[in-house]
A and B are shown apart, each in its own frame.
Chain A
């Protein structure tokens, strides 16, 4: 079973700062997902990566398959980015293994 570690667990930033959230996993994967969960529970899928880098607006996700590591970056952070960010990986089976999440708070 894959182990997924996220860091940091909690992150507080000032509006405008560049933010990085990290995810490491223990076993080879077929894909890695980044998810966002706002207060109230709803979860939104941000990215799915199997290699390289993806960008959507101010969000950038990268993955290094050899190092078993992914990062989620937020440029020019804003208070509305405050949420829990969750990393999840999928292997040969179709179910995902989730990290415990990173609570991000962006202060105005």
Chain B
């Protein structure tokens, strides 16, 4: 069964900490995405990547960076976590034509 795996389901961090969220897909997909989901705001795109070592800013990249050193892995980095980054983070992947998106189960991050 195809899978997108996020490293943590729940994460609690302190303000100012560096946070790594990992996402791995086993479908050899070119496209990978990081979203955050907040009540009333829906899914918002943080960063995406079309290929290894490529990255593009989404709608809300401020305070975040990403890394894609291998095709199957796309990491989201919060350089210095802040309380307004408390959210549900969802990773997704898709083939180049975007005909279907596959989501991870999400990481609920709380920044205290």
Q: Chain A: residues with CB nearer than 8 A to chain B?
A: 31, 33, 35, 40-45, 48, 86, 88, 90, 94-96, 98-101
Contact = CB atoms under 8 A, between A and B. Distances in A.
Contact of A45 (B40, B41, B50, B102): B102
Q: SS class of chain B's interface: helix, strand, loop or mixed?
A: strand
Interface residues of B, number: 26
Contacts of A95: 33, 45, 48, 56, 58
Contacts of A86: 42-43
Q: SS class of chain A's interface: helix, strand, loop or mixed?
A: strand
Interface of B: 31, 33, 37, 40-45, 48, 50, 56, 58, 88, 90, 92, 96, 98-103, 105-106, 108
A87 to B, nearest CB: 10
